[in-house]
Amino acid sequence: MKQALFPAFILITLLFSPAFTWQAQVNEVVDGDTISLSKDGETVKLRLWGIDCPEASQEYGNGAYLFAVSFVKYGFLEIETMGTDQYGRILGIAYTNNVSLNEELIRAGWAWVYETYCDKPICDKWREIQKAAQKQKAGLWESANPVPPWEFRKNNPKKEPKETSPLSLAIIFGAASLLLLLIRLILKNGWAKKKRKWNNRWRQ
């Protein structure tokens, strides 16, 4: 319940403040463009707005992750909120010392401008920075044809963990019970044989 209150607070504030910024402690860098933050005792996920980094399992994903880690240094970030996404994450631009992580990821060649969602005036500047990174073959641009993360996600959808059906559970439970019963019978039979053997010795 508490986790839902903070995003709601962000959205309400956005309605009345077009440039709402807030400060938060970095908990964890999840990947190049996703960061776990702590704000007023609550944990929230930040998705860097307007850019898209390679996925963690994708080529250059680790490079984007390491760059983000070196930038945030697990300190505090200033967040300019741009909205929320369908997963309940805050969308925003992250700053430290007035330097934008979103922009620096593009400059270093570890992120694309996310054309589908980057629709603010700042995006024109970011596109020029991306062109410069491509010319310099910085980061992922060392590859002649790097795969954009949105295409990678489309071709490699995340598989949902399979649920064990009630029938499968019944079979597993039945097999385990049968095995336990057999072990008990074997032990009982072995103990009975030993007991008879001891009794015969005493009679002799």
Same domain, 8 and 48: yes
Q: Say how many Å lie between the first and final Cα of the chain, rounded.
A: 77
Are residues 51 and 33 in contact, defined by beta-carbon separation less than 8 angstroms? yes
Q: Is residue 96 part of a domain?
A: yes
Same domain, 115 and 191: no
Catalytic residue among 42, 47, 103, 151: 47
Catalytic residue among 42, 80, 89, 142: 89
Catalytic residue among 28, 42, 55, 78: 55
Tell me which residue range forms the domain holding 45. 2-155
Identify whether 55 is a catalytic site residue: yes
pLDDT in tens, 90-135: 999 999 999 999 999 999 999 999 999 999 999 999 999 999 999 9
Whole-number Cα distances in Å, 96 to 72, 79, 100? 7, 9, 7
Q: Is residue 163 part of a domain?
A: no
Identify whether 142 is a catalytic site residue: no
- The span from the CA of 152 to the CA of 161, in Å, is 20
Segments of the chain scoring below 70 in pLDDT: 1-19, 159-174, 190-204
Q: Is residue 162 part of a domain?
A: no
